[in-house]
């Protein structure tokens, strides 16, 4: 008997996955427990094993499709097996019981009935669910054009999916003209390639426009043509976009800056290096932050509705740039594993991140983040808080800088020191300015007296 392969759920926060590659094609055999396809979630690309043994009879979603969790993606069974019942099960509503012999094509219009048209006055506010807005933004859909089937005409995710499934193919120029003129494209027959609606097909189009729309005219021979191209966002980029936008909308983010003398940190790192122990500047900074977070629990806390959630543990995330985006693996218990423990764990996580081998537990559970961009010759910058954390430390480059110091006799002198700019972004809802300043002072004190970190 044929089995349905579904989009598996990997982690509590996963809502959908993108199929990046099928490792077994239609007509090929697969065995339970062997690799079947590669899937990209919000942060990871992982290989998923088959949950059935047999022949891949039908792939329901090709490579590149983003599929909600638990939705069917393939059917596995015996060659020649009748899977029409399983294919029909994909539709939201089954065919009438009195006509089981009706072909699948007759049930195709059923999804349209799930989203009855809603009359809206021009400029009338459109109410939509968050997931509906997300789907519309991802696919470049004007939410106002989508009929809503929810209570009081609310546009829900199903409505956007139905709209996309029935949306006519249209050229960008025609789409812009139709939107500006309020033209409904649903009833217009396209004369372009593959039935695509062009500007010439719109009501009131002039004769010249019908002849050859500018966007579709061939370029003269030898003339350089340049334009734009579209690339679909990866799951990682969408996750970064969603998290950062949410951070700016929810957090009352502000920041404090401070410059630190890193001379003692450089000396400490050189001492470890002489002993054959690899410790980076970032490891030392993470250790200093972990100590300061223990001293200042409010900076290690999170907002939970109208409550403040204090964490008994200190988990410091370190932002790592990877192809296609940014990921923040977390060093757990950074306050108790010591400097060499932080160095070892950091090296392990960075290697796993760049090889795409991080697990969900590797990048969840952070209480604070350190983002270092000094390696890119950046003097200083402001980082965005990584929710649900309440603060993030941005670290610039270590640079030799003229500094005025006062000697024992009270005389001012200009000396060259290795200085580094720190910027603490914090959530002002629970962290006051004075507390943020004290935290930065503690980090500075630990870095200028790193013997306190050992």
Q: Could you give the CA distance from residue 234 to residue 246 in angstroms, rounded to a whole number?
A: 18
Q: Could you give the CA distance from residue 357 to residue 296 in angstroms, rounded to a whole number?
A: 34
**C-alpha dist (Å) from residue 50 to 22, 45, 46, 280:** 11, 16, 13, 42
Annotated active-site residue 428? The verdict is yes
- Scan for tokens 């939107």, then name that residue: 179
**C-alpha dist (Å) from residue 96 to 61, 103, 107, 114:** 26, 11, 9, 16
Residue 332 · residue 341 · CB < 8 Å = no
CA dihedral 103, 105, 106, 111 (to 10 degrees): 130
β-strands 45-49, 35-40 pairing: antiparallel
Among 61, 311, 364, 428, which one carries the catalytic annotation? 428
Q: How crowded is residue 262: how many other Cβ atoms within 10 Å of its Cβ?
A: 22
| H-only helix segments in 80-217 | 84-88, 110-113, 130-138, 157-166, 172-181, 207-211
Residue 5 · residue 71 · CB < 8 Å = no
Closest-CA residue to 142 (of 185, 109, 105, 113): 185
Sheet containing 316-318: which strands, arranged edge to edge? Answer: 253-261, 412-427, 391-406, 368-372, 316-318, 330-331
- Scan for tokens 């009081």, then name that residue: 152
Secondary structure element (H or E) that encloses residue 17, with its range: strand 16-22
What residues have CB less than 8 Å from 267, skipping those under 6 apart? none
Tell me how far apart the 2 most distant CA atoms of the chain are, in Å.
103
β-strands 302-304, 72-77 pairing: unpaired
Residue 264 structure tokens? 């003692």
State the catalytic residues.
428
């Amino acid at each position: 008997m044929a089995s349905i392969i579904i989009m598996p759920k990997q982690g509590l926060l996963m809502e959908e996955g993108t199929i990046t590659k099928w490792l077994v094609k239609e007509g090929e055999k697969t065995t339970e427990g062997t690799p079947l396809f590669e899937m990209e979630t919000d942060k990871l690309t992982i290989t998923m094993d088959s949950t059935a043994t047999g022949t891949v009879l039908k792939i329901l979603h090709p490579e590149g499709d983003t599929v909600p969790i638990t939705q069917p993606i393939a059917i596995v069974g015996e060659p020649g097996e009748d899977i029409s019942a399983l294919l029909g099960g994909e539709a939201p509503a089954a065919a009438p019981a009195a006509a089981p012999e009706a072909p699948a094509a007759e049930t195709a219009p059923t999804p349209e009935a799930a989203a009855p048209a809603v009359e809206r006055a021009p400029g009338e506010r459109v109410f939509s669910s968050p997931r509906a807005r997300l789907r519309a933004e991802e696919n470049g859909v004007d939410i106002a054009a989508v009929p809503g089937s929810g209570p009081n005409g609310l546009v829900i995710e199903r409505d956007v999916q139905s709209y996309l499934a029935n949306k006519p193919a249209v050229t960008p120029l025609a789409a812009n003209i139709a939107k500006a003129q309020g033209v409904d494209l649903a009833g217009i027959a396209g004369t372009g390639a593959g039935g695509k609606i062009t500007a010439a097909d719109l009501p009131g189009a002039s004769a010249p426009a019908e002849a050859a729309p500018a966007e579709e005219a061939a370029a003269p021979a030898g003339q350089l043509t340049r334009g734009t191209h579209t690339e679909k966002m990866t799951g990682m980029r969408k996750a970064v976009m969603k998290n950062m936008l949410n951070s700016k909308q929810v957090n009352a983010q502000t920041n404090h800056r401070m410059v630190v003398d890193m001379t003692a940190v450089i000396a400490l790192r050189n001492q470890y290096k002489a002993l054959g122990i690899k410790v980076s500047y970032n490891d030392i900074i993470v250790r200093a932050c972990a100590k300061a977070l223990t001293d200042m629990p409010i900076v290690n806390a999170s907002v939970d509705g109208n409550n403040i959630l204090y964490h008994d543990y200190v988990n410091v995330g370190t932002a790592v740039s990877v192809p296609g985006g940014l990921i923040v693996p977390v060093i757990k218990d950074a306050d108790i594993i010591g400097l060499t423990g932080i160095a070892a764990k950091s090296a392990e996580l960075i290697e796993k991140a760049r090889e795409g081998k991080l697990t969900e537990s590797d990048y969840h559970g952070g209480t604070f983040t350190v983002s270092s961009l000094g390696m890119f010759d950046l003097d200083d910058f402001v980082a965005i808080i990584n929710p649900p954390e309440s603060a993030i430390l941005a670290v610039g480059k270590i640079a030799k800088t003229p500094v005025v110091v006062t000697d024992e006799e009270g005389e001012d002198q200009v000396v060259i020191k290795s200085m580094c700019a720190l910027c603490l972004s914090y959530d002002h809802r629970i962290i006051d300015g004075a507390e943020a300043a004290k935290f930065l002072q503690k980090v500075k004190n630990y870095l200028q007296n790193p013997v306190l970190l050992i």
